[in-house]
Chains A and B, each alone.
Chain A
Amino acid sequence: MTNQNHTPFSLYIHIPFCASICGYCDFNTYTAQQLGGGISQDSFHELLIRELEIASRTLEAPAVSTVFIGGGTPTLIGSDSLTQILRGIEKYFPMNPDVEITTEANPDSVNAQMLTELRQGGFNRISFGMQSVAPAVLATLQRTHTAGASAQAATWAREAGFEHVNLDLIYGTPGETDSDVRDSVNVCIDAGADHVAAYSLIVEPGTAMARAVNSGVLPPPDDDACADRHNIIDTMLQRAGFNWYEVSNWAKPGGQSAHNQVYWSSANWWGVGPGAHSHVNGRRWVNHKHPATYAKAMENIAMENIAMENIAMEKGEALHSDTEELTPEQIHVEKVMLALRTRAGLPVGELDNQELSRAKEFARQGVIDPVEFASGVVRVTDSERLLADRVIRELLG
């Protein structure tokens, strides 16, 4: 198996650790206490580097165009471990000259020195989970950082030489006001971020927040308020020179995340670490979710004493908990579904005849942009942006 067609190839690295679990979060992450003694956060990066080696041998070392370390809280394992992961990547993969290397970080898990070390270690983009500047909202979300920490962290990052800084926002939290949202956006703009990802709050099943909503302690997020706030954010960011480019993403010119584009253009990436998802050549798989299970699977591979040559895909499969081979139909559905969420849209040529006639009707109604449609691109108009799922459903029929 090789990375086909010279499509961009990316790596996602998952760090499944957090200092505490936020009430709304359903990501695959654990506190030290939840993990117990079995897993060492200090040496966990070594396991990840082993998987990088497997990935490299399986795919015959394609050139890497983006790297994204996410979590969890990657910065929890320290700049040294994170930098070592980067060195591991460089050891097993050739790197594109303009490679984008991002790590996520929590505003209160970094300081100026650490950010400098990360920058010097090779990271050139950093993404902070800011969420909000309203203390009440942060409390409801059970975030541990203060309102001021995010702006401070972003400033430090700029000073450390990060070309690209993203701030994540969450809007629609119960108790939040429109003015809280404005304050948060203003802080993003003032802190010098060149990228903002703003997500309407999703109450994920199984989270502490879901329990609070179900038991009536918290009201559920209000869709109308979310729609209003999306529009507030969009207006403010556009005015400050950001361009909207995906449902929840805005960037200044040159600030768009290349790694994001990998997901949305159905390109190839390998997800390294517990619970990480991969997509390579029409196959999707996911690694064992729990760090201990993942570590155990990795150990088994090691015990089979895999030589430096011929680590076949089958060996790597010991890490997988689930694999699906996409049918051409499914590949098409994903392509449409992902592209219609973006400003770039979808080439008209991707549609089959039935979809094309539905698209024509949408263009006539102004649901998709008629001018761009005439020039060969299917793009949901700005006013219909928040109804994109409906457009996707109906276009696919």
Chain B
Amino acid sequence: MSSPRPGSTDPAVVRNFCIIAHIDHGKSTLADRMLQHTGLVDARSMRAQYLDRMDIERERGITIKSQAVRLPYEAPDGKEYILNLIDTPGHVDFTYEVSRSLAACEGAVLLVDAAQGIEAQTLANLYLAMENDMEIIPVLNKIDLPAAQPEKYAAELAHIIGCDPADVLMVSAKTGVGVSELLERIIEKVPAPKGDASAPARALIFDSVYDTYRGVVTYVRVVDGRIGTRDKIEMMSLGTTHELLEVGVISPEPIPSEGLGVGEVGYLITGVKDVRQSRVGDTVTTALRGATESLGGYRDPLPMVFSGLYPLDGSDYPELRDALDKLKLNDAALTYEPETSLALGFGFRCGFLGLLHLEIVRERLEREFNLELISTAPNVVYRVITDAGKEITVTNPSEFPETKLSQIFEPVVRATVLLPSEFVGAVMELCQQRRGVLLGMDYLSEDRVELRYTLPLAEIVFDFFDQLKSRTRGYASLDYEPTGEQEADLVKVDILLHGEAVDAFSAVVHRDKSQAYGVLIVQKLKELIPRQQYEVPIQAAIGARIITRETVRAVRKDVLAKCYGGDISRKRKLLEKQKEGKKRMKMVGSVEVPQEAFIAVLSTSESSSKK
């Protein structure tokens, strides 16, 4: 019995589903196991985490880009099904991508580590799926672990979803236990896609990936009609049309097909070179007799966090520009524009979806393009209204106007923290310190609590996650979504070296915290700036007002004690080396600041979002 051909598959045998899971809860392993179980990939050619394509994804165990794989599956009842597994990104920065992936499915496997319970991000994505009326299949993974508490967490999941604890499937993706039951459950529970085969074609783009050889590969879920290889297609939000070069499915390698029909999931290749031509969330239709109404839900990606990226070696600037141009092809959310810093030279002010996005971009620039970079402390976007009523959008703290401001608005998020109840006090204290407003608190189970806060995004960007992890011994998880903006009493703190402001160190902080911030940075710099020819005052200032000061004393001794026989060439070589080292020194006014000082200071205020 041969499986249904792509392009002519009866929607009744199609099941589109995704897996909602936290990092490390075993999503990729489960997906791998499904690939094996359906016979799509044999054990010999299996490599760990088959679907994570980027090195960074595999190394970090996270999914940045969605993937979709078509799994032909002969069920025990003898019927041939098509399972489309749509892998979703698992991070708060990519919530929008997640929502589009979910929109392409009828069901979701909720995969939770049986030793850890549900995490905040999973919960957020679960709520998203439930709002979309998706069929949820709760699964506890890693039941073979000694620390597993399947009963406890089954009760927790049942409580959250509103099902019977007995309905929670027990799986070990590692050993394969429970995987066939899960496949059966998917076929049984996930509704087959419904759509109008005779209507104009409408397909949802849930991902688009730039491939060096093929150009942009667009992943779609067909809702109505059919997209055939000879069609000319239209991107409905852009109004642009493209010839189709190829239509196909991933199973698990790309397989060209005649077309894609109702409910089917596959890819389109048009030859465009920039993912901005093929945007996640957009609706694809045919240019001829196309749909007039899109599927809706499309949104332009909006950068939330900004950081200046500068090459350590100024002469790498053109390489950095080229690298960003290339990354952009595959990253519709990345924005950048040239920026000049007195301290750091030529670079780019880049906009990111969040901290992880920033980190990934930075890491790819360094790894794939061999660049050494300094990134300034991440900041958010401020909306400033001057006394004259003029509105200014500030994406770089050094450009924050200093006087005559009538109102300042900062972005806020609704944050959800899941944590063991014993840490509630510590986390509430942290949120309070970060200007959080408590929205609510719920017990998910006896000892697991969900805290909901409104928090300024700037506070989350500044070291929040590390603090949260350290206060809860790593047990808390965090999710947040932007909810708008609030007015706040913010000031710009400048750091002055020898009376001159160093733009890279300027930060916008709440007035109540400006003193503490100033002291922190000034003391750090005092440790890092080598003694110079003159005494160097290091000051923190708000406008013209100095709020703290330290002094680097003048150097009194800078001479080699001994210079005889062999010392001479050693000393000469040292001089030659120091000449090189001078390039690693930035002159800020008359003060020599080592690159390391910039990196160290900027990284103290840089949160790491390695979750």
Contact = CB atoms under 8 A, between A and B. Distances in A.
A223 interface: yes
Given A223-B557, A386-B556, A324 B563 contact: no
B316 to A, nearest CB: 24
B76 interface: no
A334 to B, nearest CB: 5
Interface string B7-25: 0000000000000000000
B568 A12 contact: no
A225 to B, nearest CB: 9
A224 B552 CA distance: 13
Interface string B487-508: 0000000000000000000000
A200 B553 CA distance: 20
Contact of A271 (B553, B557, B565): B565
B558 A277 contact: no
Contacts of B576: 333
A392 B558 CA distance: 10
Contacts of A277: 565-566, 568-569
Contacts of B571: 337
Given A223-B555, A223-B556, A199 B561 contact: yes
A11 to B, nearest CB: 12
B561 A387 contact: no
A388 B558 CA distance: 7
B166 interface: no
**Residue from B533, B558, B559, B564 having most chain A Cβ neighbours under 10 A:** B559
Contact of A338 (B559, B562, B568, B578): B568
A200 B565 CA distance: 18
Interface in B544-558: 553, 555-558
B569 A393 contact: no
B482 to A, nearest CB: 49
Given A199-B562, A247-B563, A390 B575 contact: no
Contacts of A260: 564
A107 B592 CA distance: 45
Contact of B557 (A264, A286, A387): A387
Contacts of B562: 199, 202, 248
Contacts of A223: 531, 555-557
Interface string A95-110: 0000000000000000
A338 B570 CA distance: 12
Contacts of B578: 393
Interface in A342-397: 385-390, 392-393, 396
A390 B565 contact: no
B560 interface: yes
A392 to B, nearest CB: 7
Interface in A25-82: none
B610 interface: no
A385 B560 CA distance: 11
Interface string A255-289: 00000100110000101000111010000101000
B558 A279 contact: no
B572 interface: yes
A334 B558 contact: no
Contacts of A195: none
A313 interface: no
**Residue from B533, B558, B563, B565 having most chain A Cβ neighbours under 10 A:** B565
B328 to A, nearest CB: 41
What is the predominant secondary structure among interface residues of chain B facing chain A? loop
Interface in A200-237: 200-202, 223-224, 226-227, 230
A264 B562 CA distance: 11
**Residue from B533, B557, B576 having most chain A Cβ neighbours under 10 A:** B557
Interface string B572-608: 1001101100000000000000000000000000000
A59 to B, nearest CB: 17
A199 B563 CA distance: 11
Contacts of B531: 223
B557 A230 contact: yes
Given A337-B575, A387-B533, A279 B561 contact: no
Contact of A390 (B558, B566, B569): B558
Nearest to B566: A277
Contacts of A390: 533, 555, 558
Given A223-B555, A223-B556, A224-B556, A284 B561 contact: no
Nearest to B571: A337
Contacts of A199: 561-562
Contact of A386 (B559, B564, B572): B559
B566 A286 contact: yes
Given A199-B562, A202-B562, A386 B575 contact: no
B559 A334 contact: no
Contact of A333 (B556, B559, B563, B572): B572
Contact of A334 (B555, B572, B579): B572
A216 B531 CA distance: 22
Contacts of B559: 247, 341, 385-389
A111 interface: no
B560 A389 contact: yes
Interface in A283-334: 284, 286, 324, 330, 333-334
A330 B575 CA distance: 11
A334 B576 CA distance: 11
10 contacts: A200-B557, A200-B561, A202-B562, A223-B557, A263-B565, A337-B568, A338-B568, A386-B556, A387-B559, A393-B575
Interface of B: 531, 533, 553, 555-566, 568-569, 571-572, 575-576, 578-579
The 5 closest A-B pairs by CB, nearest first: A227-B556, A277-B566, A277-B565, A199-B561, A388-B559
Given A223-B556, A389-B558, 20 more contacts: A199-B561, A199-B562, A223-B557, A224-B556, A247-B559, A248-B561, A248-B562, A263-B564, A279-B565, A286-B566, A337-B563, A338-B568, A341-B559, A387-B557, A387-B559, A388-B558, A388-B559, A390-B533, A392-B575, A393-B578
